[in-house]
Amino acid sequence: SKTTSFEAFKRLFSLLNWDRKDILRILSFAVLSGAFSLMLPLGVQALVGQLMGGRLSSTWLILTVLVVIASLFMGLFGLFQMRSSEWVQQRIFLRSATYFLSVMPTKVPEEDQKSWYERVHRFFDTLTIQKELPKILVTASASLLQLFFGFLLLTLYDFMFVALSFLILSIAAVMIRFGFTRGLRFSIDEST
């Protein structure tokens, strides 16, 4: 039977549902990292403005300390994200391996071999999920949040930036809409 994209996402979410608290923790670290990542360019811009203006005061020292602290927090939140995603990966592998160990018979009858090959093949999908999960949770969430915070920052500068951002987002949405379903269908067929 063919697996639909809805069923594939349903399986993925049921697999990740066990680690909901850790995934929310990873996403919260991504939010904090995204907020501090905006402080970095704004602080550097203010620092350069202070130095270029020739105003050497205690403000540039405070700005420098704030930029260094923001960089430190960004690094710490990144480490926390990576460690939490490693825990999630280990638990997914452990649950999958335990499941397959408990249901796999020592000898498979000839008529059931095709269905058991399908079940064993799902174990290798676990390895793929383990490999891609940090990219999805850490990198993609941080990128999306940086885009969101950057968009909020653009609203402070000029409305034309906002209009251009909406144009770019609509083009990206159209590309994702038409490319995502075909790519997912191809990946499911390839996995099958």
Give this prediction's pTM. 0.65
Helices (H), the chain: 5-16, 20-52, 58-103, 113-134, 141-157, 159-191
Contacts of residue 66, Cβ cutoff 8 Å, sequence gap at least 6: 39, 43
Interatomic CA distance for residues 111 and 3, integer angstroms: 22
Q: Are 36 and 74 in contact (CB under 8 A)?
A: yes
Q: Are 33 and 78 in contact (CB under 8 A)?
A: yes
Mean pLDDT (the chain) is 80
Q: Which of 75, 63, 86, 3 is nearest to 36 (CA)?
A: 75
pLDDT at position 3 is 64
pLDDT at position 171 is 92
Position 34 pLDDT exceeds 80: no
